[in-house]
Amino acid sequence: MKTSLSLNNVTKRFGDVEAVKNISISLHEGEFVALLGASGCGKSTSLRLLAGLEKPSEGQIFLGDKDVTGKSPAERNIALMFQSYALYPHLTVFQNIAIPLRMRQLSAIQRLPGYGLLSSSIRQKHNEISDRVKQMAEMLRLSTLLDRKPGQLSGGQQQRVALARALVRKPSAFLLDEPLSNLDTQLRSETRDEIRSIHKRTNYPFLLVTHDQSDAFSMADNVAVMIDGEIAQFASPKDIFCKPATISVARFIGQHRMNILPAGAAVSLHPAGGQLSLGVRPEELIISTAGTLEATIESLIFHGEETIVNLVGPKQQKLRVVVHSSNELPNTGENVKLSADLNALHAFDADGYRKELTS
Amino acid sequence: MIRRAITDLVLVGPAALAIVIFIFLPAIVVILLAFTDYQFGSSTANWIGVDNFTSLFGSKIGRKALTNTLIYAGIVIPASVGLGLLVAIGLHHLTTSLPKASNILRAIYFLPVSATLVAMAVSWQMLLHPSLGLINNWLSILGIAPQQWLSNRDLVLYTLAVIGIWQSVGYNMVLFLAGLAAIPKTLYDAAEVDGVTGGWSRFWVVTWPMLGPITMFVIIVTAANAFRVFESVAAMTKGGPAFASDTIVYAIYREGFVYFKAGYASAITVIFFIALLLLTALQIALVERKVHYR
Amino acid sequence: MKLLKTACKLILSFGIALSAASALAATEIRVHYAIPTIWAETQEKLADAFMAKNPDMKIKIDGPAESYADGVQRLLREAVAGTAPDVAYVGLNRWRILEDRGLTKPLDSFLPKDKLAAGYTPALLSLGSYKDVQHALGTSASNMVLYVNPDLVEKAGGSMDNFPKDFDGIIELAAKIDALGDNIEGIWIGRHDWRFQSLLGSHGGRPLNEDESDITFDSNAGMTAASLYKRFAQEGGMSSMTQNDARQAFPSGTLGMFFESSSLLKRFEEGAAGKFQVTVLGTPVVAKDNVYFPTGGSAILMLTDDETKQKVAWEYISFVTGPEGQKIIVENTGYAPANKIVLDDAKYLGAYYDKNPNAKVAHAQVAAHAGPWYAYPGAEGVAVTDLIAAALVELTEGADVEKTVSDLAETLRLQLKMK
């Protein structure tokens, strides 16, 4: 696959603060990558660096094999959809979608109203732009809304206008900044499907920036997990979930925070726990009489299809178990024994890096 | 139910009564007076129909006051709105690069707004004094002939206009600064991504339309003040020389309180009131339709 | 219309009615005056001296108005609201506004039989009479005099000993002073009704005929007087600066000669102190007879209807227009007196004139040529003075004298409904 957009060893400093620390990331043609991280981790800065809205303090940015480090967003021809959509409130839906084309294809004088009357070649261009806008509107079900102002649209409609404006020209890459965060649950899953299908249809390289792992996992081919300005892991969603590369990725990923038993205490789950820390997801820690880890139940929280059990281990470490059936729940204060499958154990060395366990 | 109504009346009554007595009643008296030859202080008045109105538009002095006011407003409105915007944009950018200097400049530009014009008029008179004033002294250093700023009939209105601009730029600047600060940064980012390059296109695509509502407000306020110009005229020129700087509101004062022609002054007041009312209505209609983007 | 007036009254009196219910001590009268910057101290002294002499009478001074114009406005307002004072000092050119509205009380029945013996000469009485009824008495007087900066005169090659006696000579000298430098002015005179009336009187002309039924300043005398404005500007290099500009320029030493009211003498002497010696000369007298100079200053008049108050009011009026009151006014304001006794009898002001020779020149001119400051009759009376001023501006800008003055006279006749 051809690399279409990449950051090479890029660092970005704001004053004394390093927002992005020496990261490298590549986006290939037809690939859908998600940049996943908690707020403040540097993912938005990375996106702005890719778009050209910020200039890196160090490192280079490549578009194909061209160095575009100093180039403006327009020169990079990158499309960007903003979290707030950033539609022009004074322009109609049609004019909003047409802006990127008008700016690229017409000079300042040619953009003046009425100029098209003077020259047939300009009229030709105007018609082309109009056709392309209508085509985009058709694709995003906006055809009936073209004369409205953004203030008259619902959130979902505004988002489709933002999508149309981003895609109306043929961009070299499409960056999406938290596209789903302003939508309700119902609209969210519809929009996920919509974005996926647009990606399939257009085959542009997509980069999704999000703090929501289910958005990232459900849409992207590959996910880059960003923690404290660095890329902690870049892999397929499945690998990230099943084989977290570091202890911090392991903690960050998953619906429930992973139980981590420090080296020493972990020996009761696996012999390697003497030297390595062991992590087990709460869903995979099992209460069973055959268990080897003793713990006391502190509280039970009932959530419907699952119940969260909070426990305290032998060395006062907090543990959590998620139980999916509701028929055989233990009681608070009870001492129980816990066990986990070998496959469910994640081992990390003293520096926090993953070690594969052997039986 | 009745008790409730009485309570409501007691709450609304005094204010309503005050408005009727102090605003509506005098306004009606003014409208009635406009059709009489009432002299301030005299005990009788005659109904003279629209004579006051015909002599306002028919007399040279009346027309002069009208045209002077229009010329004054025609200069002050665009200049002080334009300059206010220009200064605001400059200071807005300066806030990021030189925050201290920006704050000091803001205070300097705002100073004329907070100073009372009557007091400032004394300073202006000294600055503009034909032989002793600093301005003519500086001009003569530059080799330019001294000017009679406030007593040359061809110049006096423009001098007053410049003072009017000087006085209102700071206020407009503050309003525009607030407007600029309220423009979302992402709109500029979006524009950049969309290929809006260079300050000029950025201004036309984002800044100017986003300032639409505030610009309309600034124009309304500036226009209202420009059409009501009075203090600078009263304090510096008294409408002279030879009515060259006479304006509508000064004419109202002159006719009513210097000449004691209360009837005639009332007629001017009525015309002025109607004109301002029309202007405001027009502006409100424009604001609703064009600038609020819904 | 009656209804309208009542409504007016109602509104105006709404706020003041309560406060106006003053204590009606039988012997107290309320006095109004204007321009506290000139009069405040003098008014206190007059009231104190009067009350010391008449212990059973009391003077209560109202808060002063800023100017004579404001003062008349306030008196009219108070008259409408029924809260007018009992006695008022009014500008000499403004008492006719009150007379026109029937507010003044004639003083003839109060005046002594032998008016001359009391110091009220016919010229002085003329300042406050209209159609043979005495409505007011002058309390302080001023004329237009010529202020000179001797330093500039000498620099321009003139001399104070050989100072020109006529307007031609003055214009010639003005041109020489004007040539001294860019910011040096030769001569200046206000383009203003009163100044024009002064020049007119010097040429023996009058602005109005005897019964005030016609404009008469388009006479030969009027044309010559008006042409002076054009000549001052064209031959003497007079600039178009404003009255205020000129009043700053003269004491600063950048204006050579200045035709201005004698009431400004004190201010100019103080302003020029340490720079040059202000010298006052009389306005040149051109005509052989009929010469007069319109007199500015203030008049006092009676407003009260109450008979007991009228008696007290007259006592006060005769005190301030008599020699004792006049001495206080002259010494404190620098105005010329409006009573002959105080001028003739050196025991009143002899010492003052020894110290103030400039004041003596000015006051002598008042004594010799005092005349009324003509107010144009009727509703447009004040309005037309601005038309006169506007015409004078045109003259200084080079307009034809004959045409401008004739047109002006015609305009005034129409506006004052004389035709």
C12: in domain:
no
CA-based nearest residue to A241, from A254, A226, A251 = A254
Residue A316 has pLDDT above 60, yes or no: yes
Residue C35 has pLDDT above 60, yes or no: yes
Beta carbons of C248 and C264 less than 8 angstroms apart: no
State which amino acid sits at residue C356: N
Tokens found for residue C371:
């005349």
Does residue C193 sit in the same domain as residue C285? yes
Stretch B256-270: mean pLDDT: 88
Tokens found for residue A182:
């302003």
Element (H, E) at B164: helix B156-181
Residue C1 has pLDDT above 70, yes or no: no
Q: What is the pLDDT of residues B106-148, one digit of tens each?
A: 888 888 888 887 788 888 888 988 878 888 888 888 888 888 8
Beta carbons of C186 and C164 less than 8 angstroms apart: no
Strands A58-63 and A173-177, by their bridges, are unpaired
Beta carbons of C224 and C203 less than 8 angstroms apart: yes
What is the structure's pLDDT at B236? Answer: 87
In angstroms, the separation between the Cα of residue B294 and the nearest Cα of chain C is: 46
Does residue C151 sit in the same domain as residue C249? yes
Alpha carbon distance C373, C192 (integer Å): 13
Residue C92 has pLDDT above 60, yes or no: yes
Strands C296-302 and C137-142, by their bridges, are antiparallel
Name A355's bridge partners.
A347
C299: in domain:
yes
Angle among Cα A91, A95, A100 to the nearest 5 degrees reads 115
What is the structure's pLDDT at A326? Answer: 62
What is the structure's pLDDT at A75? Answer: 84
Answering whether pTM is above 0.80, one says no
Tell me if A86 and B186 make a contact (CB, 8 A cut-off): yes
Chain A partners within 8 Å of B195 (Cβ): 74, 100, 103-104
Residue A288 has pLDDT above 90, yes or no: no
Interface membership of B209 toward A (CB under 8 Å):
yes
Does residue C322 sit in the same domain as residue C210? no
Stretch C359-364: mean pLDDT: 88
Stretch A284-295: mean pLDDT: 84
Cis peptide before B213 (omega within 30 of 0): no
What is the structure's pLDDT at C392? Answer: 94
B239, closest residue in chain C (CA to CA)? C386
Stretch B200-222: mean pLDDT: 87
Residue of C260 and C116 predicted with greater confidence = C260
Residue C25 has pLDDT above 60, yes or no: no
**Which CATH architecture is the domain A256-355 placed in?**
Beta Barrel (2.40)
Residue C228 structural domain: 144-293+378-415
Chain B partners within 8 Å of A74 (Cβ): 192-197
Collect all residues with Cβ–Cβ distance below 8 Å to A320 and sequence separation of at least 6: A256, A257, A259, A282, A285, A308, A309, A310, A311
C305: in domain:
yes
Chain C interface, best mutation among B21, B125, B151, by max C CB count within 10 A: B151
Interface membership of B144 toward C (CB under 8 Å):
no
Chain B partners within 8 Å of A72 (Cβ): 192, 197
Name A246's bridge partners.
A353
What is the structure's pLDDT at C14? Answer: 44
C212: in domain:
yes
Alpha carbon distance C172, C190 (integer Å): 19
CA-based nearest residue to C69, from A29, B259, B9, B61 = B259
What is the structure's pLDDT at C3? Answer: 46
Chain A partners within 8 Å of B184 (Cβ): 84, 86
Stretch A308-337: mean pLDDT: 83
What is the structure's pLDDT at B238? Answer: 86
Q: What is the pLDDT of residues B15-64, one digit of tens each?
A: 888 988 888 998 898 899 899 888 877 777 788 888 888 888 888 888 88
Collect all residues with Cβ–Cβ distance below 8 Å to B195 and sequence separation of at least 6: A74, A100, A103, A104
Beta carbons of B221 and C342 less than 8 angstroms apart: no
Alpha carbon distance C140, C259 (integer Å): 19
Angle among Cα C391, C249, C243 to the nearest 5 degrees reads 30
What is the structure's pLDDT at C10? Answer: 47
Tell me if B41 and C101 make a contact (CB, 8 A cut-off): yes
What is the structure's pLDDT at B288? Answer: 67
Does residue C286 sit in the same domain as residue C191? yes
DSSP characters over C37-76: HHHHHHHHHHHHHHHHH-TT-EEEEPPPBSSHHHHHHHHH
Q: How high does pLDDT run on average in chain A?
A: 86
CA B23 to chain centre: 22
Alpha carbon distance C38, A312 (integer Å): 96
In angstroms, the separation between the Cα of residue C136 and the nearest Cα of chain B is: 19
Does residue C85 sit in the same domain as residue C207? no
Does residue C79 sit in the same domain as residue C115? yes
Residue C175 belongs to a domain with what CATH number?
3.40.190.10
Map tokens 């420009």 to a residue.
B226
Does residue C100 sit in the same domain as residue C42? yes
Angle among Cα C104, C107, C112 to the nearest 5 degrees reads 170
Does residue C207 sit in the same domain as residue C335? no
Name A308's bridge partners.
A301, A322
Domain assignments of chain A as residue spans, ordered by start: 3-242, 256-355
* Residue B80 DSSP one-character state: H
Residue of C315 and C122 predicted with greater confidence = C315
Lowest-pLDDT range of A144-148, A313-317, B5-9, C110-114: A313-317
Chain C partners within 8 Å of B125 (Cβ): 244-245
Q: How high does pLDDT run on average in chain C?
A: 87
Does residue C367 sit in the same domain as residue C277? no
Interface membership of B150 toward C (CB under 8 Å):
yes
Does residue C148 sit in the same domain as residue C281? yes
Stretch B257-281: mean pLDDT: 87
Interface membership of C290 toward B (CB under 8 Å):
no
Q: Which of residues 151-210 of A touch B (CB under 8 A)?
A: 151-152, 165
Which string of b and e fits B108-147 if b means at least 16 CB within 10 Å?
Answer: ebeebbeeebeebbeebbebbbbbbbebbeeeeeeeeebb
Domains by residue range for chain B, with CATH = 58-291 (1.10.3720.10)
Q: With left for phi above 0 and alpha for psi between -120 and 50, is residue A64 left, alpha or beta?
A: left
ipTM above 0.90, yes or no: no
Count of structural domains within chain C: 2
Collect all residues with Cβ–Cβ distance below 8 Å to A158 and sequence separation of at least 6: A85, A87, A150
C19: in domain:
no
Chain A partners within 8 Å of B293 (Cβ): 89-90, 149-151
Q: Which of B44, B131, B241 sits opposite C254 (nearest CB)?
A: B131
Residue of C198 and A180 predicted with greater confidence = C198
Residue B273 has pLDDT above 50, yes or no: yes
Predicted confidence band at B175 (pLDDT cuts at 50, 70, 90)? very high
Element (H, E) at A47: helix A43-51
Tell me if B151 and C254 make a contact (CB, 8 A cut-off): no
Collect all residues with Cβ–Cβ distance below 8 Å to A252 and sequence separation of at least 6: A38, A225, A227, A232
Q: What is the pLDDT of residues C105-127, one digit of tens each?
A: 999 999 998 888 888 888 888 88
Element (H, E) at C225: helix C220-234
Domain A3-242: which CATH number of 1.10.10.10, 3.10.450.50, 3.40.50.720, 3.40.50.300 = 3.40.50.300
Q: What is the pLDDT of residues A50-59, one digit of tens each?
A: 888 888 898 8
Tell me if B258 and C382 make a contact (CB, 8 A cut-off): yes
Percent of chain C having pLDDT more than 70? 94
Beta carbons of A26 and B168 less than 8 angstroms apart: no
**Cβ atoms within 10 Å, residue C360:** 16
Residue A19 has pLDDT above 50, yes or no: yes
Chain A interface, best mutation among B96, B186, B187, B193, by max A CB count within 10 A: B193
Residue of C368 and C49 predicted with greater confidence = C49
Does residue C95 sit in the same domain as residue C233? no
Percent of chain B having pLDDT more than 90? 21
Stretch C84-92: mean pLDDT: 93
* Residue A169 DSSP one-character state: S
Lowest-pLDDT range of A233-247, B72-86, C8-22, C394-408: C8-22
Map tokens 């002279």 to a residue.
B240
Chain C partners within 8 Å of B237 (Cβ): 242
- Phi, psi dihedrals of residue A295, rounded to the nearest 5°: -155, 160
Does residue C301 sit in the same domain as residue C382? no
Predicted confidence band at A114 (pLDDT cuts at 50, 70, 90)? low
**Cβ atoms within 10 Å, residue B279:** 15
Alpha carbon distance A61, A58 (integer Å): 10
What is the structure's pLDDT at B73? Answer: 93
Alpha-helical (H) ranges within C243-344 are: 243-252, 265-272, 307-321, 323-333, 340-344
Stretch B283-293: mean pLDDT: 68
Q: Which of A51, A53, A86 sits opposite B184 (nearest CB)?
A: A86
